Amino acid sequence: MKKIMTRMLLLAAILTALTGCSGGTGEKKEEDTSKGGSVVVGITQDLDSLDPHKAVAAGTKEVLYNIFEGLVKPDKDGNLVPAVAESYEVAPDGMTYAFVLRQGVVFHNGKTVTAEDVVYSLKRSAGLLETSDPEVQVVAALSVISTIESSENEDGKEIVTIKLKEPNTELTGYLTCSIIPCDYKEQATKPVGTGPFVFTSYEPMESIVITRNEKYYGDKAHLESVTFSISESSDAAFVELLAGNIDIFPYLTEDQAAQLKGQYTIEIGDMSLVQGLFLNNAAAPFDNLLVRQAMCYAVDRQAILDMLSGGHGSIIGSGMYASFGAYYDASLAQKYPYDTEKAKALLAEAGYKDGFTFTIQVPSNYTYHVSTAQVIADQLRKVGITAKIQQIEWAAWLSDVYSAHNFEATIIGLDSQLAPSDILKYYIAGSPKNFINYAEDETFNATYQEALKTVDAKKKKELYKKLQANLADNAASVFLQSPALLVAVNPKLGGYTFYPVYVQDMASVYYK
């Protein structure tokens, strides 16, 4: 009898515990998302344009992501999901793309999205409009487009058909390009898109405010409004974090994250960048393969992660990072393990027995890259190489390093669209984007073109792995890591989501 009683009590206890649990979370979850409210997100770069086709800085795109959408958009797993388009079909030969437009998608100014708007937006980004605005960033990858036409299917839905000059199976990755109204002239001051948030106001050097799009076709945002507050530097933003007037801040250093623990939740994601010590393959001594390989052996990537990101981040060994999933070759990360003896031997073989001196030019506004340069300079000293660090302005980096190729080495992070061809475009011989003058191997260009055209998925993966191996074998540069992204989030907030591209999605964030 007593036994039964105890058992029943136990059962009752377990039952209440269970129901208590599930009831609690269930209720909480329902409450969660409907609270609305507003948040302040700290950013450290002023927006370079409010027109999505003119914006170039990653810091601008991460904000505009909330206002604009393309035919497709990336989800958190790196897939492309339909947005303004409802569905799409790629012809097996990779020559034709057909997008069925979603019905009833409305721009923030009340106008319904039509095929005309889509055609206009794509043509504008591809540089195919008759009168072009030189400020518009022409997406080079869209230059394979020969015609864009609209039609209607039997259900009365609008279809946009893109025909290409040559087969390309990766175009969808670039069709995240924003859809904007075709007859709207104030895009640069009062931007209008189709995204989950509506542009409200912008004050230069101060803030940009967006509010919930009540007419959004998909899941509406939880927050009523979001203010992106522009801080002068990440140090200034840190002071604001301490004072508690920023809710979300995405670019913490390891030290700052440690100090904020307790006051903020620290979320750790991935920047989705190829950070590297990029070497000018046309300038001595880096025109020598042995020297470049020696450099790869002489850099201790794990130590960089440990020192700068508390061990977070993912080491890479070629020009791609893990977000590319099946295309990414993870084995290359171990191609050049840290080995000072090997580095010294290679240097001796190359005729630099006593090392050499070179200069790393690094843009001073990216403190993370500057810190990386300091760690690397220290490591290289152990094999007899002296690296001088020269901090330069971003404008000077663009003109001297990136355009004029007038440098020995630089540290930068390369970002990409969700297409494997995009992140590897920096190594095509003869391309203006090939700032490191990579031309060690003629097979790279041919393989790249072949990969673009290949329809067979398995073959395509192989080709991309071949390209990555090519870069690693020829030690195109010292590929370092895709750095960790340390984000401070107000503990009252939930739903902060990382994406394999550089964006701050505010639609998923809610007050708990």
User: By the criterion CB under 8 A, which residues form the site for other proteins?
Assistant: 46, 48-49, 54, 56-57, 132, 134-135, 137-140, 188-189, 203-206, 229, 231-233, 236-237, 239-240, 242-243, 245, 365, 393-396, 398-400, 402-403, 432-433
When the beta carbons of 99 and 199 are compared against other proteins, the nearer one is 199
When the beta carbons of 302 and 399 are compared against other proteins, the nearer one is 399
At its nearest, how many Å lie between other proteins and the CB of residue 412?
9
Whether the CB-CB separation of 138 and 125 falls below 8 Å is answered with yes
Cα distances from 319 to residues 240, 261, 305, 425, 450, in angstroms, run 36, 34, 18, 10, 18
At its nearest, how many Å lie between other proteins and the CB of residue 52?
13
Beta strands 314-315; 478-482: pairing state = antiparallel
At its nearest, how many Å lie between other proteins and the CB of residue 78?
22
At its nearest, how many Å lie between other proteins and the CB of residue 192?
16
User: What's 373-432 look like in SS3?
Assistant: HHHHHHHHHCCCCEEEEEEECHHHHHHHHHHCCCCCEEEEEECCCCCHHHHCHHHCCCCC
Token reading at 46: 């002023």
When the beta carbons of 132 and 386 are compared against other proteins, the nearer one is 132
Residue with tokens 């970002």: 415
At its nearest, how many Å lie between other proteins and the CB of residue 217?
30
Classify residue 127 by its DSSP letter: T
Report d(CA 212, CA 108) in Å as an integer.
10
Residues 6+ apart with CB under 8 A from 324: 78, 420, 423, 464
At its nearest, how many Å lie between other proteins and the CB of residue 190?
11
Cα distances from 410 to residues 113, 396, 424, 429, in angstroms, run 44, 12, 18, 19
At its nearest, how many Å lie between other proteins and the CB of residue 404?
8
When the beta carbons of 98 and 242 are compared against other proteins, the nearer one is 242
When the beta carbons of 414 and 487 are compared against other proteins, the nearer one is 414
When the beta carbons of 34 and 131 are compared against other proteins, the nearer one is 131
Q: Give me the amino acid identity at 72.
A: V
Report d(CA 415, CA 203) in Å as an integer.
27
When the beta carbons of 139 and 162 are compared against other proteins, the nearer one is 139
